[in-house]
Amino acid sequence: MNANTSRGNDTGTGAKFGLGFDYAISREFSVGGEWDHYQFNVFGGTPYVDQLAIDVKFKF
C-alpha cells in the first residue's frame, strides 16, 4: 500500500479479511451485504479501516 498524505508518504503492507452474503428473494431479485476489515502498517502505526456494503440486485 502507498499512503500519500499532507503529513508525508509511506509504503507498507497489511491484511484484509471480510464476510459477505447474498440472499435470492426470487430469480430476478436478491439482497446482500458485505463487511471488510483492513489493517495497514504505515507511518509507524497500524490504522484499521472497516467497510460495510449493502447490495440490492435486480436481473432483467
Q: Tell me the pLDDT band of 6, cut-offs 50, 70 and 90.
A: low
17-41 residue pLDDT tens: 899 999 999 999 999 999 999 887 7
The pLDDT value recorded for residue 27 is: 93
More confident residue, 58 or 42: 58
Q: Where are the domains of the chain?
A: 10-44
pTM above 0.85, yes or no: no
Q: What are the DSSP calls for 9-52, one per residue?
A: EEE--EEEEEEEEEEESSSSEEEEEEEEEEEE-BTTB--EEEEE
The pLDDT value recorded for residue 34 is: 96
